[in-house]
Amino acid sequence: MRLQVLRYCIYPLGVGIFILGSIFQRDCLITSGPFWIGDRLVTFVKHDEGLNHHNSPATRIAWVMFLAFPLDFKEFSFLEQIVASFGKLLYWHSEDTSLCRVMLKVMVDSTIDIPRSITVKSCHSMDGEGQS
């Protein structure tokens, strides 16, 4: 796994604290572990989810992938409006090189609220052509 480490420091509560190139990279590292580094088994966790962290059972964090998403709507404000129907947009993986998908990190009350499909349409074009 190749990761872009922007900054790191020795940390008193573990091996170290690392700042990676994106939240997507961080989440991949956290979910892929544990890792053997030398003779030690190392697990990576989010900086705010250490040993004394207590999670709220009211919300969930999830990655959502939209396939065949219109290129014209790949903007944070549009994505935020779409996600608002079922949760709150936390992060958009805008560095994704794929043109056919959108990867979003969202906060939802329940994963059941996440729709299996969405319809995206523009209110600006109502079956008419205009010239200026």
Domain spans, the chain: 5-42, 60-113
Average pLDDT over residues 15-26: 86
Q: Which helix (H) or strand (E) holds 2?
A: none
Report pLDDT for 11: 75
Q: Is the pLDDT of residue 39 over 50?
A: yes
Highest mean pLDDT among 6-10, 54-58, 100-104: 100-104
**Residue 119: is its pLDDT beyond 90?**
no
Segment 81-88 shows an average pLDDT of: 93
CB 89 within 8 A of CB 79: yes
pLDDT of residue 51: 65
Asked if residue 29 lies in contact with residue 8, where contact means CB atoms within 8 angstroms, the answer is no
Torsion angle (degrees, nearest 10) of CA 32, 37, 43, 49: -120
